Amino acid sequence: MERVLVLNGPNLGRLGVREPEIYGAATLEDLRSATTGWGAELSLDVDVRQTDDEAELLSWLHEAVDTRAHVVLNPAAFTHYSYAVRDAAAQVTTAGLLLVEVHLSNPAAREAFRSHSVVGAVATGTVAGFGVDSYRLALQALAARLGGGAPGAA
């Protein structure tokens, strides 16, 4: 079974209480159980993690490379300025692994500073704006690509 690390950056442990009008009512635990269930349906071994610590997030991206795991990554605010996360994400995709950038909200429709992702250019693709469902769509795209789906078919 293919392994997928579902990695969540800073403040995503506050889901449910943090700006629910933007991020929804689901907690990180809700996201974890929904995402793990979708993974099982897609025959993916999903491991959901969250950290507020940039160094820990980097170590998980390095782990993905070293253990040959694909990645679904919500870099949260790191999306917009962390070249360190960008460089670690690049190591995943240059190793031939898939990395899908996800966002609960649609950053392009929010403040100007959110409209640029430094990670997007090194990701396999991006899903944003569908709440927790962004993670389901990311896993489906990943499973389709792993199943030999043609580019554009995922």
Point out which residues bind ligand DQA (CB under 6 A).
Answer: 11, 74, 76-77, 79, 103-105, 107, 114
Q: What three-state secondary structure class fits 81?
A: coil
For residue 82, the minimal CB distance to ligand DQA (Å) is 11
For residue 63, the minimal CB distance to ligand DQA (Å) is 21
CB environment 37-71: b (16+ within 10 A), e (fewer): ebbeebebebbbebbeebeebbebbeebbeeebbb
Q: How far apart are alpha carbons 79 and 11 in whole angstroms?
A: 13
Q: 50 or 74, CB closer to ligand DQA?
A: 74
Q: 2 or 124, CB closer to ligand DQA?
A: 124
Angle between helix 28-41 and 133-146 (nearest 10): 30
For residue 76, the minimal CB distance to ligand DQA (Å) is 3
CA atoms within 13 A on the CB side of 42: 25
Q: How far apart are alpha carbons 43 and 45 in whole angstroms?
A: 7
Q: What three-state secondary structure class fits 128?
A: strand
For residue 148, the minimal CB distance to ligand DQA (Å) is 29
Q: 103 or 136, CB closer to ligand DQA?
A: 103
Residues serving a catalytic function are 23, 103
Q: 3 or 14, CB closer to ligand DQA?
A: 14
